[in-house]
Structures are given as structure tokens and as C-alpha cells.
Amino acid sequence: MQTTVTRQAILDDLEALVPLFDAYRQFYKQASDLQAARVFLQGKFNHGESVIFLAWEGPKAVGFTQLFPSFSSVSMARTFLLNDLFVLPSHRRQGIASDLLNAAIAYGHAMGAVRISLTTDIANATAQATYEAQGWQRDQAFYTYHFLPTIS
């Protein structure tokens, strides 16, 4: 087994990231669309709209996480939404998700964030166990609401 290295992604990593992002979307029952994934991710890089960390095993990208910046008005401080975390099925249970979470936490700390939040599917017990083992706490104080406008 090779050593896994986790680092912040740069635009030059786009082609390694696209198939991982596409596989992540397929995990959530979305149709594969490599071109749309490429356009979406390139936009995030070009506009500084997210921070992405990649886990590498040798020359192969095997996992990623993506943070979106936000702010807390109450704290008057930066926060992050950890929106995506994905590890190739062949590389799970090797600590890669933990490495990606640790990279996100270290980045948030370096940026002075007061909080990093994430949401996961209620049925995704594996992800929940990973987060809880890393010290993440399930929210007991707030409900999450979504407004989904219809587009005609």
C-alpha cells in the first residue's frame, strides 16, 4: 500500500478532480456528466468560490473534500461549509476521509474560522460514524430548512 498525501488542489489538478467529483455526484443518484463537472469546478477555481483538498496515492487522486466559505453575522467571523467529501470505494477504510477532514479543519483554523459545518444524508451511517469518530458533533440546537423554488 502506497502512502497517501493530502494537499490543497490547484487549477492544474482539475483533470484529476473531475472524475472524482463526477463519481461523488453519481453516489447521490445524479447522472454522470464529466463536462458539466469540469465547468462547475473550473468556475470554483477561477472565482475563488471554494477550497478543495485532494488525497493522492502516488499519481492517482483517490479522494477530495470541498469547502465553501461563509460568515457568521452573530460571531462576525468566517465559517465554512464542508459541502463534499468523497473517497473512491477501493480506497475507503484507510483513513483517507479522516485525512481530508483534518486538512479542512487545519485550513479553517488557519483562516480564523469559528465553525465548519456539514450536512449528510440521514441514512449515511458510515459517514456519520466517520464524522463522529473525528469529533464532529450533531447539531442539537438548530433545525435546517430549505426553500426550493420552482423554475419554469
For the chain, how many structural domains are there in total? 1
- Count of C-beta atoms within a 10 Å radius of residue 108: 20
Q: Which three cell numbers stand for residue 114?
A: 469559528
Q: Give the whole-angstrom CA distance, residue 18 versus residue 33.
A: 10
Question: Is residue 110 one of the residues assigned to a domain?
Answer: yes
Mean pLDDT of the chain: 92
Where in the sequence is the domain holding 101, given as residue range(s)? 4-9+50-133
* Helix or strand run (H / E) with residue 60: strand 60-72
Question: Is residue 31 one of the residues assigned to a domain?
Answer: no
Tell me what pLDDT residue 144 has. Answer: 81
68 in Cβ contact with 49 (< 8 Å): yes
Which residue type, as a one-letter code, is found at position 52?
Answer: I
- Count of C-beta atoms within a 10 Å radius of residue 85: 21
Question: Is residue 14 one of the residues assigned to a domain?
Answer: no
* pLDDT tens-digit map of 15-49: 999 999 999 999 999 999 999 999 999 999 999 99
- Count of C-beta atoms within a 10 Å radius of residue 57: 18
Question: Is residue 26 one of the residues assigned to a domain?
Answer: no
Question: Is residue 145 one of the residues assigned to a domain?
Answer: no
Q: Give the whole-angstrom CA distance, residue 139 versus residue 50.
A: 23
Question: Is residue 60 one of the residues assigned to a domain?
Answer: yes
Question: Is residue 120 one of the residues assigned to a domain?
Answer: yes
* pLDDT tens-digit map of 99-112: 999 999 999 999 99
Tell me what pLDDT residue 152 has. Answer: 61
Residue 134 has pLDDT above 90, yes or no: no
Nearest partner of 17 among 63, 59, 48, 58, judged by Cα: 63
Question: Is residue 143 one of the residues assigned to a domain?
Answer: no
**Domain containing 102 — which CATH number?**
3.40.630.30
Query: What pTM, to 2 d.p., does this model score?
Result: 0.89
